[in-house]
């Protein structure tokens, strides 16, 4: 039996968001279109996937089992699409890449040089963003590939894969900051001093630290604010080593430094073309042959 791909996607999104209307907004469809697609899928399967007796639709036990199978089908479809793109000879004219400062660019220059040799006629754009801003740029079609500090979860329409490289994050202050003279800094001392924290354009309220804070949307801006003595900041160690113009002191605090992982991310709804897939493979170290 053939099932509509649109119906499968509608089902997965409605299950993930807990609402037909939310799924409709995300997929840029009318609520009636989503409801009809899911209803038709239920008729095709001969199963009730959602219990509609409450305010919001709830997956039935059968729906929970079907959901896992549908996700496998969609993932297999995506892998087929990616294979077709890899084998395609049509090269995209432009590639937009979102770089996170949490990525320690040990191989970035080498990758870029190989990319230039392999695709000399492509327009290449590099953006800088973090966390939710990276996801937003992919979902709106503004960018094709991004790098991001590993997130607890990703939207259903975002593909991701772990990079081999990791980054060390630590706490830094200006040399003349009061915290700089302490042999070890406690949580209480950090809480009573201004924190310079990352604050993305697409921020969610629950991710904003409480207390005395100043914020900026990039780690490089936080670095400059820390150098000017405005507070302490969590910064990538490599960024401090490479771009610090004034002495910064790394604080000795329990649990720091921390090692974080980085994911490469892309939109499942707008997959990168052959050049983008090659670039992604290089980031993931899947293909070490430069040309």
What does pTM read for this prediction?
0.68
The candidate with the shortest Cα–Cα distance to 27, out of 14, 18, 42, 38, is: 14
Could you report the per-residue pLDDT of 233-290, keeping only the tens digit for each? 999 999 999 999 888 999 999 999 999 999 999 999 888 988 999 999 999 986 444 3
Q: How far apart are CA 182 and CA 170, in angstroms?
A: 16
- Of 16-20, 29-33, 183-187, 286-290, the range with the highest mean pLDDT is 183-187
Could you report the per-residue pLDDT of 192-237, keeping only the tens digit for each? 999 999 998 877 655 666 678 999 999 999 999 999 999 999 999 9
Could you report the per-residue pLDDT of 150-197, keeping only the tens digit for each? 998 899 899 999 998 899 999 999 999 999 999 999 999 999 999 999
Rounded to an integer, the average pLDDT of 66-83 is 82
Radius of gyration over every alpha carbon of the chain, rounded to an integer in angstroms? 23
Q: How far apart are CA 244 and CA 73, in angstroms?
A: 48
Report helix, strand or coil for 198.
strand
Rounded to an integer, the average pLDDT of 86-114 is 86
Rounded to an integer, the average pLDDT of 135-156 is 93
- Sort strands 232-236 and 158-174 into parallel, antiparallel or unpaired: antiparallel
* High-pLDDT (> 90) share of the chain, %: 56
Chain-centroid distance, C-alpha 128: 12
245 C-beta neighbours (distance < 10 Å), count? 8
Report helix, strand or coil for 260.
strand
Residue 289 has what pLDDT? 41
Rounded to an integer, the average pLDDT of 84-106 is 82
- Helix or strand holding residue 129 (H, E): none
- Contact between residue 185 and residue 251 where contact means Cβ atoms under 8 Å apart: yes
Residue 75 has what pLDDT? 83
Position 8 pLDDT exceeds 50:
yes
Residue 48 has what pLDDT? 92
CA distances from 17 to 11, 55, 71, 196, 283 (A): 10, 14, 15, 33, 31
Report helix, strand or coil for 118.
helix
Residue 86 has what pLDDT? 57
Q: Hey, which residues does 198 pair with through a beta bridge?
A: 216
113 C-beta neighbours (distance < 10 Å), count? 11
- Helix or strand holding residue 59 (H, E): strand 58-59
Per-residue b/e over 95-104, b at no fewer than 16 CB within 10 Å?
Answer: bbbbbbbbbb
Least confident piece of the model among 37-46, 81-90, 131-140, 277-286: 81-90
Q: Provide the mean pLDDT of the chain.
A: 88
- Of 6-15, 114-123, 167-176, the range with the highest mean pLDDT is 167-176
Confidence of residue 107 (pLDDT cuts 50, 70, 90): confident
């Amino acid at each position: 039996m053939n099932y509509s791909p649109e119906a499968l996607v509608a089902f997965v999104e409605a299950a993930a968001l807990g609402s037909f209307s939310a799924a409709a907004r995300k997929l840029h469809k009318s609520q009636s279109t989503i409801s009809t697609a899911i209803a038709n899928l239920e008729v095709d399967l001969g199963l009730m996937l959602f219990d509609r007796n409450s305010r919001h639709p709830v997956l039935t036990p059968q729906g929970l089992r079907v959901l896992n199978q549908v996700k496998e089908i969609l993932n297999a479809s995506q892998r087929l699409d990616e294979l077709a793109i890899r084998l395609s000879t049509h090269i995209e004219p432009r590639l937009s890449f979102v770089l996170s400062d949490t990525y320690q660019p040990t191989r970035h220059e080498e990758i870029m040089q190989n990319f230039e040799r392999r695709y000399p006629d492509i327009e290449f754009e590099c953006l800088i963003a973090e966390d939710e801003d990276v996801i937003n740029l992919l979902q709106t079609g503004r960018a094709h590939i991004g790098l991001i500090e590993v997130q607890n979860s990703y939207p259903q329409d975002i593909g991701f894969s772990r990079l081999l490289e990791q980054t060390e994050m630590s706490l830094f202050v200006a040399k003349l900051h009061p915290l700089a003279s302490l042999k070890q800094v406690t949580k209480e001392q950090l809480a009573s001093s201004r924190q310079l924290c990352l604050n993305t354009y697409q921020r969610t309220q629950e991710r904003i630290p409480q207390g005395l804070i100043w914020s900026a949307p990039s780690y490089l801006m936080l670095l400059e604010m820390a150098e000017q003595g405005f507070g302490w900041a969590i910064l990538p160690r490599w960024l401090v080593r490479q771009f610090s113009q004034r002495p910064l002191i790394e604080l000795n605090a329990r649990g720091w430094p921390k090692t974080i992982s980085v994911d490469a991310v892309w939109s499942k709804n707008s997959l990168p073309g052959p050049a983008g897939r090659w670039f992604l493979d290089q980031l993931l170290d899947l293909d070490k042959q430069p040309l």
